Amino acid sequence: MKTFNDSKSQHLEELEALISSSLSEKELEDRLSDYHDNDIAEILEKLAPQERLRLYRILGVDRTAEIFAYLDDAGPYMEELSLEKAANVVSHMDSDDAVDVLEDMDESRKAEIVKRLDHETSEDVKLLWSYDDDEIGSCMTTNYICIHNDLTIRQAMRELIRQAGENDNISTIYVVDEQDKYYGAIDLKDLIVARDTDTLESIISRSYPYLLDNEKTDDCVDRIKEYAEDSLPVLTQEGKIAGIITSSDVVEMVDDAMGDDYAKLGGLTAEEDLNETTVESMKKRLPWLVALLFLGMLVSSVVGMFEAVVAVLPVVICFQSMVLDMAGNVGTQSLAVTIRVLMDENLKAKQKLGLILKEARIGLANGFVLGVMTLAVLGIYIHFFKGYDWGHAFLIAACVGGALITAMVISSIVGTVIPMFFHKIHVDPAVASGPLITTVNDLVAVITYYGLSLIILIDMFHIAG
Amino acid sequence: MKTFNDSKSQHLEELEALISSSLSEKELEDRLSDYHDNDIAEILEKLAPQERLRLYRILGVDRTAEIFAYLDDAGPYMEELSLEKAANVVSHMDSDDAVDVLEDMDESRKAEIVKRLDHETSEDVKLLWSYDDDEIGSCMTTNYICIHNDLTIRQAMRELIRQAGENDNISTIYVVDEQDKYYGAIDLKDLIVARDTDTLESIISRSYPYLLDNEKTDDCVDRIKEYAEDSLPVLTQEGKIAGIITSSDVVEMVDDAMGDDYAKLGGLTAEEDLNETTVESMKKRLPWLVALLFLGMLVSSVVGMFEAVVAVLPVVICFQSMVLDMAGNVGTQSLAVTIRVLMDENLKAKQKLGLILKEARIGLANGFVLGVMTLAVLGIYIHFFKGYDWGHAFLIAACVGGALITAMVISSIVGTVIPMFFHKIHVDPAVASGPLITTVNDLVAVITYYGLSLIILIDMFHIAG
């Protein structure tokens, strides 16, 4: 049996062939009902414009809307439709998908289409647009089932069936009281297995978690994840239901949140995408680089203090980059681990201390291994390629190795403490930590390395290049 | 109105007070039904052991199982239960949760409990254990509704209600043929709104996507995400349904997949967690560090070639670290962007070239800004603090600035091309790229910087320290 991905691509080829085939429209509609909307969305780009238009006509506006909701960038395909058709398609989408699709179009056309949306959809779209991109409200959908808490089981079931025609997020049914305020939620399963003699109250979960429309998505994505529900209601300040967040929204949120942290660790202020202009990307990267430049100058001025060492013993500069790089690498590792830990759980002081000690231990252990390697390899290298006698060669190598161990231990600690500090003062550690850690580690590495060289090589043993 | 998180913590305090209150068990059971399982799971740690045991008794084994499924580490709480009770709780869990909880216990106790599981659960647990951790089969659940394709709508509905008592993932109903092979899926909504006169066939989606039990999770997580379904069936090699993946499993998968890439960018071979031993963590970090050490030595030997420059003009070493760091930072930014892009979409050759050119443009633009800053600041710094006359000071600063621009442009390109190359040859770019990029960028930076210094400062202008 083929893997998901293989069978998938074959499946898509069949689909493509089918659409370009000479089947009657009736037959085609029939056969297409066996294909997933996402699959049809994927092959759209492979079709000729007129093939696409024919396809939409055959599938009908409802299914076309479903398919468009799966497109990464619906813009070009919407362009092919008349304003009326486009508006009609958007009107048949979930509010959050409708907003996404509209975002894919240029302002003028977007405005034209919004004018032509049916009343309900345009209300929904305006509602979602009324929130900032980082607010929960901006990614909710108004596609959900809502009933009053005074119904009987039988009435509730009938109401569900009535609304299910319009709304397909039915696994959780939301309940409001007589003032239309959020009252609780019913797991569809409980409604289905309930007996007519049961009261609705008995199957309503009053504790069902909810979100507020203007909360920052990043602040609650972890909690949302924890509850692991199929959907969560989003309430207005008045406690009315504004919409819901579905599990696929949650997947998106988690993906985005992680993607941002990932970008930040890489030294971008936010995740970039392919379609961004050079200037937009510059804006995201330059701040960090300028900060690093000036911090780098600080390091340079410290290196400058050791010019004397270098003047006497130029060989030492060969290994500066190595010591600094290693210190930096170790710091980054500790940073990556610490940020993830801080993100996932709330650490008690004791655990934090434990983490710092653990990082220090790892730094020491790794530093020792690398330090020994360095001593051995560089000792030989310096003797043969730099022409120092064995004793001096290994003394110099020892300075490098020693500096390596010291720098790695301190870097591990710095790489753990600094993100914890920023987290404590509610500054995003993923953004703020990087530059600071690099700089501190560079300074530590420079001072230990040149310091050791000065004391041992020059003051103690009077070695000169 | 309070935010999700505020109201949440308050909510938990109420719950804690409630449990420690002197309410009768009947009342308490009643009140507790208003709280979410996840909330109760969160306050468990705050209770005394006997309070917990009382709580379990009041809630009953079914709900206790639900609550345990929400615990990050159920181990200590399971310890408090007798083997029979523990086995009973695990027997009431979804198979994937059961496996997770068992993993939290030490081997001996785990074995004892598995012996005591009810037949169905122990079968399910053994099934999930038969897969590797990185296979889809290991994270599926056997909690789903499955019917035959020869039923009528009415029979299907009755069957659903019967099975819904046992299984609560009902939003999608899976259909098998007479040989019990996977036939398709029914959206519960379609079943609910269907008329008795409709045929079941008419509402079965034959194209509903499926997974294979032994596929690598990482390979298909993106596709799973795309389909945005509440659940997907996992098939055996024979095409029978082994279990399903639910949306909360998908959230976990996405989180893990991203977490790993994040860790890799930070130079770890895999994501670490708090409970790992120092040795385990060392194993994950050392390989990368050793690689970097030897690559660092390579860089050192190149730096060594320019000892002459430093011997004549020690001031230049002050700025080596700065140029190298900046080159590295720019490379990391390009790397982070490129990996995310490669992860998200399949790029055509043209788009890849576009991305490379874009990164180069950004590198040049940012490099120019930083280069000018450097020229200005360092010129002044070198004049006043290093005692060179204005002309020489700015010549030296110009070398640093020039090296910076060149290094940043090349680093951006390197940071984009290398991950693309690894992606092409199916090596995970997030792991492999880091060290190579650092090294190449260091080499480029060293050569441009010292090269420029040698040519301009020493050969052309014969400046000496």
Percent of chain A with pLDDT over 70: 94
Cα separation, A310 vs B241, whole angstroms? 71
The token pair that represents A212 in the structure block: 């507020």
A292-347 residue pLDDT tens: 888 888 888 898 888 888 888 888 889 998 999 888 888 888 888 888 788 766 77
pLDDT of B4 over the 80 cut? no
Q: Which domain holds residue B185?
A: 145-265
Identify whether residues A307 and A398 lie together within a single domain.
yes
B292 with A192: Cβ contact below 8 A:
no
Cα separation, B445 vs B441, whole angstroms? 6
B329 with A161: Cβ contact below 8 A:
no
Identify whether residues B330 and B447 lie together within a single domain.
yes
Bigger pLDDT: A258 vs B44: B44
When CB atoms are compared, the residue of A171, A370, A446 closest to B289 is A370
Instruction: Indicate the pLDDT class of residue A267, thresholds 50, 70 and 90.
Output: low
Identify whether residues B182 and B104 lie together within a single domain.
no
pLDDT at A6: 61
B contacts of A247 (beta carbons < 8 Å)? 230, 247-248, 250-251
B311 with A315: Cβ contact below 8 A:
no
Identify whether residues A101 and A193 lie together within a single domain.
no
Q: What is the complex's ipTM, to 2 decimals?
A: 0.74
pLDDT at B396: 92
Beta strands in A67-181 (DSSP E): 145-148, 172-176
Name which of A147-156, A370-379, B404-413, B426-435 the model is least confident about. B426-435
When CB atoms are compared, the residue of B292, B340, B370 closest to A293 is B370
Distance from CA of B110 to the nearest CA of A (A): 25
A contacts of B446 (beta carbons < 8 Å)? 321
Task: Using the 3D structure, point to which of B72, B98, B130 is the last residue of a domain.
Answer: B130
B contacts of A248 (beta carbons < 8 Å)? 228, 247
Q: Tell me the average pLDDT across B312-341.
A: 86
- Three-class SS of chain B: CCCHHHHHHHHHHHHHHHHHCCCCHHHHHHHHCCCCHHHHHHHHHHCCHHHHHHHHHHHHHHHHHHHHHCCCCCHHHHHCCCHHHHHHHHHCCCHHHHHHHHHCCCHHHHHHHHHHCCHHHHHHHHHHHCCCCCEHHHHCECCCEEEECCCCHHHHHHHHHHHHCCCCCCCEEEEECCCCCEEEEEEHHHHHHCCCCCCCHHHCECCCCCEECCCEHHHHHHHHHHHCCCEEEEECCCCCEEEEEEHHHHHHHHHHHHHHHHHHHCCCCCCCCCCCCHHHHHHHHHHHHHHHHHHHHHHHHHHHHCHHHHHHCHHHHHHHHHHHHHHHHHHHHHHHHHHHHHHHCCCCHHHHHHHHHHHHHHHHHHHHHHHHHHHHHHHHHHHHHHCCCHHHHHHHHHHHHHHHHHHHHHHHHHHHHHHHHHHHCCCCHHHHHHHHHHHHHHHHHHHHHHHHHHHHHHHHCCCCC
pLDDT of B87 over the 90 cut? yes
A187-204 residue pLDDT tens: 998 998 899 899 999 999
Identify whether residues A401 and A444 lie together within a single domain.
yes
A254 with B251: Cβ contact below 8 A:
yes
A101-127 residue pLDDT tens: 998 888 888 999 999 999 999 999 999
Name which of A257-261, A354-358, A422-426 the model is least confident about. A257-261
pLDDT at A1: 41
In a domain, B272, yes or no: no
B267 with A164: Cβ contact below 8 A:
no
pLDDT of B1 over the 70 cut? no
Identify whether residues A126 and A159 lie together within a single domain.
no
Residue of A nearest to B297 (CA): A322
A277-302 residue pLDDT tens: 888 888 878 877 888 888 888 888 89
pLDDT of A3 over the 80 cut? no
Q: Tell me the average pLDDT across B32-53.
A: 88
Task: Using the 3D structure, point to which of A105, A130, A155 is the last residue of a domain.
Answer: A130
Cβ distance B190 to B175 under 8 Å?
no
Identify whether residues A291 and A234 lie together within a single domain.
no
B297 with A206: Cβ contact below 8 A:
no
Cα separation, B407 vs B452, whole angstroms? 12
A376-434 residue pLDDT tens: 999 999 999 888 999 999 999 999 999 999 999 999 999 999 989 988 888 777 766 77
Residue of A nearest to B192 (CA): A161
B262 with A266: Cβ contact below 8 A:
no
Distance from CA of A367 to the nearest CA of B (A): 9
Distance from CA of A377 to the nearest CA of B (A): 9
Which amino acid, residue B302?
A: V
CATH for A352: 1.10.357.20
Task: Using the 3D structure, point to which of B130, B163, B193 is the last residue of a domain.
Answer: B130
CATH for B217: 3.10.580.10
Q: Tell me the average pLDDT across B15-38.
A: 85
Compute the mean pLDDT over every residue in chain B, rounded to the nearest whole number: 87
Identify whether residues B83 and B26 lie together within a single domain.
yes
In a domain, A373, yes or no: yes
When CB atoms are compared, the residue of A4, A192, A377 closest to B212 is A4
In a domain, B168, yes or no: yes
In a domain, B140, yes or no: no
Identify whether residues B96 and B205 lie together within a single domain.
no
In a domain, A138, yes or no: no
In a domain, B136, yes or no: no
A contacts of B237 (beta carbons < 8 Å)? 1
pLDDT at A7: 65
Distance from CA of B391 to the nearest CA of A (A): 20
In a domain, A329, yes or no: yes
Rg for chain A (alpha carbons), in Å?
31
Name which of B168-177, B262-271, B378-387, B456-465 the model is least confident about. B262-271
Residue of B nearest to A382 (CA): B301
Q: Tell me the average pLDDT across A196-218.
A: 89
In a domain, B432, yes or no: yes
pLDDT of B273 over the 70 cut? no
pLDDT at A393: 92
B237 with A345: Cβ contact below 8 A:
no
Identify whether residues A191 and A225 lie together within a single domain.
yes
Identify whether residues B261 and B307 lie together within a single domain.
no
**Any idea how long chain B is?**
465
* Overall number of domains in chain B: 3
Distance from CA of A193 to the nearest CA of B (A): 6
Percent of chain A with pLDDT over 90: 38
B contacts of A189 (beta carbons < 8 Å)? 164, 168, 170
CATH for B125: 1.25.60.10
Distance from CA of B338 to the nearest CA of A (A): 9
Q: Tell me the average pLDDT across B98-103.
A: 89
pLDDT of B247 over the 70 cut? yes
Identify whether residues A315 and A428 lie together within a single domain.
yes
Residue of B nearest to A286 (CA): B366
B203-223 residue pLDDT tens: 998 888 899 999 888 778 878
pLDDT at A221: 83
pLDDT at B292: 82
